[in-house]
Amino acid sequence: MFVNLNKPILAMMLASLLAGCGRMTTSGIPKALDTDALIIAAQGISLRTNGEDVFSDSRHVATKRRFSAKISSGTSGQLLAAYRQKVMETIISTGAELQRASIWGFPDDVREFSYSYTWGRTEGIVSVDSFSGTNGQVQIVSFCYEHSR
Query: 125 lies in which domain range?
Result: 23-148
45 occurs within a structural domain:
yes
pTM, full prediction: 0.69
**Residue 49's CB: how many other CB atoms inside 10 A?**
12
Distance CA 35, CA 16 (A): 37
pLDDT digits 0-9 by tens, 11-70: 333 333 334 445 667 787 777 776 656 655 555 556 666 777 888 888 899 999 888 887
Q: What is the pLDDT of residue 16?
A: 38
CB-based contact 140:67 (threshold 8 Å)? yes
Q: What is the pLDDT of residue 43?
A: 56
First to last CA, the chain: 34
What is the domain count for the chain?
A: 1
CB-based contact 96:111 (threshold 8 Å)? no
Q: What is the pLDDT of residue 42?
A: 55
Q: What is the pLDDT of residue 45?
A: 58
29 occurs within a structural domain:
yes
For residue 78, what is the domain's CATH number?
Answer: 3.30.980
pLDDT digits 0-9 by tens, 111-126: 999 999 999 999 999 9
